[in-house]
Amino acid sequence: MNDERALALYRTMARIRAFEDAAEQASKGGVAAFGASLSQAEVRGPLHLSTGQEAVPAGVCAHLGITDLLTSTHRGHGHTIAKGAAPDRMMCELFGRASGYNGGKGGSMHIADFSVGMLGANGVVAAGIPIAVGAAHALRARGGSNVVACFFGDGAINRGPFLEGLNWAAVHALPILFVCEDNRWAATTASESNTAGAGALARAQAIGVPGAQVDGNDVFAVWDAAGNLLAEIRQGGGPRLLHAITYRVKGHVSVDAAAYRDAAQHEREIERDPLVLAAQRIAKPDQLEAIGREARGEVAAALAAAHAAPWPEPRAAYTDVQDTGAGRWRG
Amino acid sequence: MNYAQAGCSALEAAMRSDASVVVLGEDVGRGGIFGQYHGLQQAFGEQRVIDTPISESTILGAAVGMALAGLRPVVEMRVVDFALCAIDELVNQAAKARYMFGGQGRVGMVARLPNGLWSGSAAQHSQSLEAWFAHIPGLVVVAPATPQDNHGLLRAALACGDPVVYLEHKELWGLQGEVEPAQLARLGEAEIARPGRDVTVVTWSRTRHTALQAAALAEKQGVSLEVIDLRTIWPWDRDAVLASAARTGRVLITHEAVQVAGFGAEIAATLAEETDARVRRLGAPRVPVGYSQPLEDESRITPQGIAAACVELRHARPAHR
Ligand SMILES: Cc1ncc(C[n+]2csc(CCOP(=O)(O)OP(=O)(O)O)c2C)c(N)n1
């Protein structure tokens, strides 16, 4: 891999990390669950951080253009940034401001930027999978070699839509890259305790969807594997699945201290920080330092923009519901 | 004791006295994300407090099978919104099995579907769907508002032998209150949370508390509210509502759910058929719940909103035939 490409991958990861760190800070006290109580916070509600998982969206989305599409999960900031969305408008959305991508209607769990082909995060586990299937039909109808990247967690493979979606995509040879971001946890439950067999890739192969398993903390390995699979898909080879093994560094949501995990094992896992692993191989400390500074600067500007941004007008609650039958809000 | 602990202690008591009671759902082994199963897996083991994969349709479907084969499952769905992934199992299977099979087999289960607006969680985590379930023959629908009721009604739900949709409120888990474990609750029995003279407010779940705050506001304007907490949506306590309506002649029904086709409409229709009372409804506007605070607030039922509606109703001219 050439230096420029390596630095670009590192930059995407650094930008995601900076965003997640800032969002985490702004969400303290934003939700009552996991033993935490509600107080005032800029970012309200459950905030699912992708800290430590940055290599997966960075490595996959480096192969996507804005005419390719992407479906995401509740843990979607990394996918959104890597697909090309602007952190300031994302932060505005997390702050619930009118200038956010969704006008404040969605927040973190529903963040979307259709202008770059990001069809939305999702509050329902595995719900993005059938949507990706439909989007792939639409791409094929349009012609060309565009693809859908469909991200989901390891927990999602135990829901029916995983089987239904993969089977469908295989039957119709749809242009989809399924990406299982296996961070090994599903909320407070270790996924291995509830997942039979060898996991996402083995299941995909059993229904005729080939793929690859990769160290999801190694951005270069992710980039390589995703590149190969996407080339096959773009040539009309049908769906593929990338099983990226990573680790959820934070709790399930930002207020979850995740005390249910083994402390020693957690320490070992977080040593495999994808940014550190990449930095060791890039060996250009000055440039990496500069990239980190730029990423933090970008997020500082995003925070400032979000603080200054206007709130939505209450009447915005009544727009974009539907056209037919709108206006009779209480009957 | 708080609302979550009250539910937990009711379940623990039921599990102690009845070995057929089992729990299944995501993260229950860790005590549930709201602490409503705290300590139960340690006390009863992994066979009776079953941690499940993220597989809502199989969680509910398996519970139907468990019930038909002699267990008494308690199903955890985390929030009502995710139970929509298991709606076939609840509506086509659990609710209908006994009837379709001609009385063979019963589905005694309690499906816990925390309901209501959950601050900052936006449209897919903030719905109030009690009316959907009330519409389905075969289901019992319960919506406790206090720690005492979350204890008493959970025990009653477990004892009744029917499929019960048990709607805790997503934001009441930390609510503190006295709990008298021996005090039994009856399904279908409302509680007069506050007696009053001028306007009857019929409500359930969190809006019980909102209505009580509204009563203090209305009192300052010389309007006395009687607050009835239905506690059970199906069967609902017609007698209590009709008796109160006969005293006050004016009834406001208020709930967090969207007003259009909400359960308030059923109560209003019954009042129209049976009484001369003046009736109003106050539910949420028919919009998804927005994330941002000003948008979310549009969907919120407030003490001020209830009080204003009651004051207006108090001064509306009486109905006459
Ligand atoms: C259908 C459904 N069930 C349950 C939930 C609650 N929930 C949100 S995220 C999550 C864990 C998901 O695990 P995984 O798919 O591995 O993604 P991760 O959170 O690890 O990124 C659960 C259970 C949900 N949002 N949707």
**Mean pLDDT calculated for residue range B280-287:** 98
Q: Residue A166 contacts by C-beta under 8 Å, 6 or more apart in sequence?
A: A129, A178, A203, A204, A207, A209, A239, A241
pLDDT tens-place string over residues B176-225: 999 999 998 999 999 999 999 999 999 999 999 999 999 999 999 999 99
ipTM: 0.94
Which spans in chain B are helix H? 3-17, 40-44, 56-68, 80-83, 87, 97-100, 130-134, 147-160, 207-220, 238-248, 263-274, 293-299, 303-315
Signed CA dihedral, B229, B234, B235, B239: sign only: positive
**Mean pLDDT calculated for residue range B244-264:** 98
Contact B119, B289 (CB under 8 A): no
- Put simply, the answer to whether B292 touches A97 (Cβ < 8 Å) is yes
Q: What values do phi and psi take at A181, rounded to 5?
A: -90, 95
Contact A66, A132 (CB under 8 A): no
From A47, A74, A178, the mutation candidate for ligand 1 (largest count of ligand atoms within 8 A of CB) is A74
Q: Which residue of B has its CA nearest to A189?
A: B27
What's the rounded Cα separation, in Å, for the pair B204 and A243?
Answer: 47
pLDDT tens-place string over residues B71-90: 999 999 999 999 999 999 99
A162 lines ligand 1 (CB under 6 A): no
Question: What residues in B contact A313, CB-CB < 8 Å?
Answer: 294
Region for A216 from its dihedrals, namely left if φ exceeds 0, alpha if ψ lies in -120 to 50, beta otherwise: alpha
* Distance of residue A187 Cα from the nearest chain B Cα, in angstroms: 7
Region for A242 from its dihedrals, namely left if φ exceeds 0, alpha if ψ lies in -120 to 50, beta otherwise: beta
B78 lines ligand 1 (CB under 6 A): yes
- Put simply, the answer to whether B81 touches A123 (Cβ < 8 Å) is yes
Q: Which tokens in the block code for residue B282?
A: 């106050």
Distance from the CA of B145 to the center of ligand 1, in angstroms?
A: 27
**With pLDDT > 70 as the criterion, what percentage of chain B qualifies?**
99
* Distance of residue A316 Cα from the nearest chain B Cα, in angstroms: 7
Active site residue B169: no
HEC per residue, B185-252 = CCCCCCEEEECCCCEEEEECCCHHHHHHHHHHHHHHCCCCEEEEECCEEECCCHHHHHHHHHHHCEEE
Would you say residue B245 has pLDDT above 60? yes
Predicted pLDDT of residue A234: 98
Q: At B320, is the pLDDT very low, low, confident or very high (cuts 50, 70, 90)?
A: low
What's the rounded Cα separation, in Å, for the pair B33 and B37?
Answer: 9
Q: What values do phi and psi take at A204, rounded to 5?
A: -60, -45
Predicted pLDDT of residue A122: 98
pLDDT tens-place string over residues B102-138: 999 999 999 999 999 999 999 999 999 999 999 999 9
Indicate the residue type of B176: Q
| For ligand 1, atom 13: residue with the closest CA | A186
What's the rounded Cα separation, in Å, for the pair B104 and B82?
Answer: 30
pLDDT tens-place string over residues A95-114: 999 999 999 999 999 999 99
Q: Is B53 on the interface with A (CB under 8 A)?
A: yes
The model carries a pTM of: 0.96
* Most A-contacting residue of B125, B282, B295, B296 (CB-CB within 10 A), to test interface: B295
A131 lines ligand 1 (CB under 6 A): no
**Mean pLDDT calculated for residue range B44-63:** 98
- Put simply, the answer to whether A104 touches B295 (Cβ < 8 Å) is yes
- Put simply, the answer to whether B290 touches A318 (Cβ < 8 Å) is no
Predicted pLDDT of residue B319: 64
Structural domains in chain A, CATH included, are: 3-311 (3.40.50.970)
User: Nearest Cβ partner of A124 from B124, B292, B297?
Assistant: B124
Q: Is B87 on the interface with A (CB under 8 A)?
A: no
Q: At A29, is the pLDDT very low, low, confident or very high (cuts 50, 70, 90)?
A: confident
Q: Residue B79 contacts by C-beta under 8 Å, 6 or more apart in sequence?
A: B113, B114, B115, B118, B125, B170
What's the rounded Cα separation, in Å, for the pair B321 and B304?
Answer: 32
Distance from the CA of A252 to the center of ligand 1, in angstroms?
A: 9
Structural domains in chain B, CATH included, are: 3-166 (3.40.50.970), 191-314 (3.40.50.920)
Would you say residue A130 has pLDDT above 60? yes
Predicted pLDDT of residue A40: 80
- Put simply, the answer to whether A328 touches B286 (Cβ < 8 Å) is yes
Closest ligand 1 atom, residue A159 Cα: 1
Closest ligand 1 atom, residue A123 Cα: 25
Measured distance between the N- and C-terminal CA atoms of chain A, rounded to whole angstroms: 62
What's the rounded Cα separation, in Å, for the pair A57 and A246?
Answer: 12
Question: What residues in B contact A40, CB-CB < 8 Å?
Answer: none
* Distance of residue B55 Cα from the nearest chain A Cα, in angstroms: 5
